[in-house]
Amino acid sequence: MRSRRRRSRHQGGREGLVTPPVCRAAPGRASQYGLGIDGAQQDGTGALLWRAPDPALLTVRRLLTVLELGLPGLLAVVLVAVLAGAVPAVGALLVGLGVLGVALAAVERRFRAWGYAEREDDLLVRRGVLVRRTSVVPYGRMQYVDVTAGPLDRRYGLATVTLHTAAAATDASVPGLRAQEAARLRDRLAALGEARAAGL
């Protein structure tokens, strides 16, 4: 078990760690997906604690959506205005705004669907809107843990933790973590994976 480190390591140990938002799932809902809560992080009521990505991730995803759809759409409207006139251009603009609005709504729904929970023997990662998926990654099967951050992620102080296992199909990612929380989770998963691999 090995952990890939970022060059700019966080200094200062565990003090000052930023705790991501917490989503509390009722025990009945946890059992709906076949998830036991033995050994899991729980609140006083015994509910499984689902941690959500940082809200800054929603801002990043919205910006990316606007860049990917808004700018090409604007160029298309200008082209329609030049070739067909103002009235068709207005129609194209309204259609483009509608498409962008639907895309932004989908981005928010996908953001709210993400969550992760740390249990004693494995990590749970849930995602998906139309098709709800919950991945269970046993600590003992992890080979290494990556922490990555793109340009926009670094601008907002975010990072993604990716868990790699022997089978690529069972890999899992936890996006939208603050850099300090990502480093904490990476180190904890690496330590647990080494302990489980050693049979401790």
Output the domain CATH number for residue 163.
Answer: 2.30.29
Residue 15 CB-half CA count within 13 A: 2
For residues 100 and 167, membership in a common domain is answered with no
Distance CA 35, CA 145 (A): 23
Q: What is the pTM of this model?
A: 0.70
CB proximity list for 84: less than 8 A, separation 6 or greater = none
Is residue 50 in a domain? no
For residues 150 and 83, membership in a common domain is answered with no
Give the torsion sign (CA, 131, 27, 172, 17): positive
Quote the pLDDT of residue 166: 80
User: Confidence class of residue 14 from pLDDT cuts 50, 70 and 90?
Assistant: very low
Is residue 123 in a domain? yes
- What is the residue range of 84's domain? 58-110
For residues 120 and 178, membership in a common domain is answered with yes
For residues 79 and 101, membership in a common domain is answered with yes
Above 80 in pLDDT, residue 43?
no
The winner for highest mean pLDDT among 41-45, 83-87, 100-104, 132-136 is 100-104
For residues 101 and 165, membership in a common domain is answered with no
Is residue 132 in a domain? yes
Is residue 124 in a domain? yes
Q: In the predicted model, what is the mean pLDDT of residues 69-82?
A: 89
User: Confidence class of residue 45 from pLDDT cuts 50, 70 and 90?
Assistant: very low
Number of domains the chain is built from = 2
For residues 153 and 89, membership in a common domain is answered with no
Distance CA 47, CA 24 (A): 6
Distance CA 69, CA 74 (A): 9
User: Confidence class of residue 141 from pLDDT cuts 50, 70 and 90?
Assistant: confident
Quote the pLDDT of residue 167: 78
Query: In this structure, what token pair is assigned to residue 17?
Result: 């760690």
